[in-house]
Amino acid sequence: MNYKIILTAALVLLAIFVWASSNRQAQSFKTVSVSEFAAIIADTTAIQLLDVRTLKEFDEGHIAGALQIDFYSDQFLPQTLAKLSKEKPIAIYCRSGRRSASAAEKLAAEGYQLINLAGGILAWQQAQMPLEK
């Protein structure tokens, strides 16, 4: 009898933990389409634009006005904390959207507001949006 109560309580706690974890991840940053991203970054005074690709990737073409900080660098977090304000949202992108999603999770945990480009620079290029070299 007591085992059933303990097992039920454990399952309820597990369900609450899983629900809370999934809700926290869902709310940590927003992923938007190319057109939404373009509209968001159009107001350069209201947004910070961050490219988390390598310098080589960045030099091959990037969105105008983007700050480049390599997500794979050991200095990613210290550089970001030093260069970007928590007062304005960060529009973030990478090659395909996966790296920037990981970076967004990390930065959201530090208190930043983030907007991730779905499909990354590949989607941007496919939509024939401008790049700067």
Residue 52 CA to residue 91 CA, distance in Å, equals 11
Distance from C-alpha of 10 to C-alpha of 129, rounded to nearest angstrom: 51
Q: Residue 14 belongs to what H/E stretch? A: helix 2-28
First to last CA, the chain: 70
The interaxial angle of helices 76-83 and 98-108, nearest 10 deg, is 60
Catalytic residues: 94
Strand spans (E) along 36-97:
48-51, 67-68, 90-93
Question: Tokens representing 56?
Answer: 């080589």
